[in-house]
Amino acid sequence: MLIQGGVICMAPISKLKIRHKKGGQLFLIEVFIALSVLILLMIAIYQVEFSTDKTYPDNLSEIGYNTLESLNSAGTLKPLVYNLLTTELADSIDNALPENVFWRLSVEDDAGTNIFSLYWERIPPADASVGAADYFLFGYDTILNQYRVIHLELWRLVG
């Protein structure tokens, strides 16, 4: 409505419809822009998901500890460590770990002296994630006042 010289004038109906149509057109443009942004984001997310390499959870420390714990629970770890049966110990650990996990191990006495090492010449690749587990064995047979510290390092080969 317009007031001109005390007379109320109405805008032509055709102009009101145009103003109303422009509001609807703006709303449709906003909806199309929002949908386009959503579609582009979804495409980007799926491309990132499909292009990533297969990853493994970094639970190598847990795998190492559980391996030593299961060997100890079975009653095989103490005799192998205290009697220096390194070949049998290496075979037991190899059988307990997944095929793509490499490891090295050292055993120390209670004074910190290295008793023996297995595969210590193996060096993990620089880009590999390494897990470590330390396991304590307390006494065996007549040697009840001494303990052994087993240090196990693991890394996974991917591919």
**In the chain, domain spans:** 2-51, 60-156
What is the pTM for the complete model shown? 0.61
Q: So what's the pLDDT on residue 156?
A: 84
Quick one: pLDDT at residue 62? 93
Percent helix, percent strand, percent coil in the chain, to nearest 5: 45, 30, 30
Asked if residue 4 has pLDDT above 60, the reply is: no
> In DSSP terms, which residues pair with 56 in a beta bridge?
none
- In angstroms, the CA 88 to CA 66 distance is 18
pLDDT attached to residue 153: 93
Higher pLDDT, 49 or 85: 85
Paired tokens of 150: 């087993």
Dump pLDDT digits (tens) for 72-97. 999 999 999 988 999 999 999 999 99
Tokens coding 71 = 């060997």
